[in-house]
Amino acid sequence: MKARHKRLAYLAVGLAVLAAAAVLVFQALGNNMSYFFSPTEVVEGKAPRDHVIRIGGLVKPGTLQRGQELTATFVVTDNAHDVTVRYTGILPDLFAEGQGAIAQGRLNADGVFIADEVLAKHDENYMPPEVAEALEKGHQQGKAQMSGDQP
Amino acid sequence: MSSRLVNWFHFSSPATFYPLAGRLVPIFAVIAVILIAVGLYLSFFVAPTDYKQGEGYRIIFVHVPAAWMSMFIYLVMAFWAALGLIFNTRLSMMMAQALAPTGALFTFLALWTGAFWGKPMWGAWWVWDARLTSELILFFLYMGYIALQGAIDDTRRADRAGAILLLVGVVNIPIIYFSVKWWNTLHQGASVSLRGDVSMATTMLVTMLIMALGFWAYSIAVALKRVRCIILERERDAGWVGKLPEIRA
């Protein structure tokens, strides 16, 4: 074995051990690496109750109610479970029904999430408005056809 | 060894690489200027407005290519560091050293443009989610490498220490890349994946790729320019350096 083969072997073994260590660390960390809990995790009690946590999901369409003095109430859903969120403050521009949002705060005794910060989450799709419109139209037509096919 | 068409070790000699790099620098510099000029024009005047984010999304044309470069340059540095450790080639270590400031620059640019993008869209300059945090760690890795490499006077030891730091830090690159897949993050997923799935309009994608190629050419030009300086500094006692016209003058 030449000296450089030996060094190559050391390096390969070293990197493999390092990679294994990293995998184990992140396995152990598990969900702690996540930025927010989903409504399902909150409802199932996987999220700590008496702690400031973040929950994230879609703002359920038709649930956003603006109350007095900048207080807004809305439902965050992951299409399996819902959590009601109350927030007083200015909502980000991208915040809208049907869009992703992340709220930071804690659950009160009634199971309502009292948020002190709300962030809007957007997805990885970028397109001109015309395309978005066309897609939406196609989606609606497809839906209409689907329901039309059913007797 | 003689049966190979190109003897790569030939180019690993600083004396042969120095003039070659000198010839390549202006070529890549011109490519970089043209591509970035075209890319910026497309970014501001040709690419369509986004349906959701309006005009604000245009920062993507700097943000994403910068973030790609920050990760890619790190991988290239780690590659040179590994070569340097295995083959004891001086030039490999010099290449790693030459790339570091450019990598740090792009990492900083990605973080900074990300903050500018995050404030209007998400509502926060900075959040401690997995993507943002791991990219910040990448910035610290670059800084740590530069500091460690510069803190040791004996170049051979400095190179070896820096190379080991670089190789250990490689673990961070897949973490950055896959963070948005493995964990819940505020940062959205990738619009352009390694498998070739694209979720953006063609004009936007082309603009982003042109900017990325421009950044690529810029990085090559700057790194070659820098490696020439490093070669001169480290080989100042070598005979061939004394014979260079620019040194004799």
Residue A55 has pLDDT above 70, yes or no: yes
* CB nearest B86 (choices: A11, A125, A132): A11
Same structural domain, A27 and A88: no
Q: Does A127 touch chain B (CB under 8 A)?
A: yes
Task: Give pLDDT, residue B2.
Answer: 47
Same structural domain, A24 and A91: no
Q: Tell me: the pLDDT tens digits for B187-207?
A: 988 888 777 778 888 899 999
pLDDT band at A148 (very low <50, low <70, confident <90, very high): low
Dihedral sign (CA B211, B212, B217, B220) = positive
* CB nearest A92 (choices: B122, B127, B190): B122
Residue A147 has pLDDT above 90, yes or no: no
Minimum Cα–Cα distance from A102: chain B residue: B186
Task: Give pLDDT, residue B98.
Answer: 96
Structure tokens at A114: 């009292």
Same structural domain, A42 and A7: no
Same structural domain, A40 and A19: no
Q: Which of A17-21, A143-147, B188-192 has the lowest mean pLDDT?
A: A143-147
CATH number reported for the structural domain that contains residue A81 in this entry? 2.40.50.140
Same structural domain, A42 and A70: yes
Same structural domain, A63 and A86: yes
CA gap A39, A42 in Å, rounded: 5
CA gap B14, B230 in Å, rounded: 10
Task: Give pLDDT, residue B4.
Answer: 57
Residue A151 has pLDDT above 70, yes or no: no
Cβ of A11 within 8 Å of Cβ of B121? The answer is no
Which of A126, A131, A139 should be substituted to probe chain B, the one whose Cβ sees the most B Cβ atoms within 10 Å?
A126
Q: Does A48 touch chain B (CB under 8 A)?
A: no
Contacts of B79 in chain A (CB under 8 A): none
Contacts of B129 in chain A (CB under 8 A): 35
Structure tokens at B115: 């903050």
3-state helix, strand, coil in chain B (%, to 5): 75, 0, 20
Same structural domain, A40 and A98: yes
Same structural domain, A26 and A90: no
Low-confidence ranges of chain B (pLDDT < 50): 1-2
| Overall domain count for chain A | 2
| Mean pLDDT, residues A57-73 | 88
The domain of A48 spans: 34-121
Q: From the CA of B185, how many Å to the nearest CA of chain A?
A: 5
Q: Which residues contact B95 (CB under 8 A, 6 or more apart)?
A: B77, B80, B223, B227
Q: Which of A28-37, A57-66, A87-96, B39-48 has the lowest mean pLDDT?
A: A28-37
Cβ of A127 within 8 Å of Cβ of B171? The answer is no
Minimum Cα–Cα distance from A93: chain B residue: B121
Same structural domain, A27 and A46: no
- Confidence (pTM): 0.88
**Using an 8 Å Cβ cutoff, are B109 and B62 in contact?**
yes
Cβ of B123 within 8 Å of Cβ of A95? The answer is yes
Same structural domain, A26 and A39: no
Same structural domain, A12 and A75: no
Q: Label residues A64-103 b or e (16+ Cβ within 10 Å = b).
A: beeeeeeebebbbbbeeebbbbbbeeebbebbeeebbbbb
Q: What is the DSSP string of B186-241?
A: SS---SB-TT--B-B-HHHHHHHHHHHHHHHHHHHHHHHHHHHHHHHHHTTTSHHH
Contacts of B175 in chain A (CB under 8 A): 22, 26
Question: Is the ipTM above a cut-off of 0.85?
Answer: no
Contacts of A129 in chain B (CB under 8 A): 48-51
Which positions in chain B have a beta carbon within 8 angstroms of at least one beta carbon in chain A?
48-53, 57, 60, 82, 85-88, 120-124, 127-130, 167-168, 170-171, 175, 182-186, 188-191, 199-201, 204
Neighbours of A140 (CB within 10 A): 10
Domain assignment present for A7: yes
Domain assignment present for A9: yes
Please choose, from the candidates B78, B63, B100, B56, the residue with its C-alpha nearest in 3D space to the C-alpha of residue B172.
Answer: B78
Cβ of B122 within 8 Å of Cβ of A7? The answer is no
Q: How many CB pairs under 8 A join A and B?
A: 116
Task: Give pLDDT, residue B152.
Answer: 94
Q: From the CA of B204, how many Å to the nearest CA of chain A?
A: 8
Residue A77 has pLDDT above 70, yes or no: yes
Same structural domain, A7 and A47: no
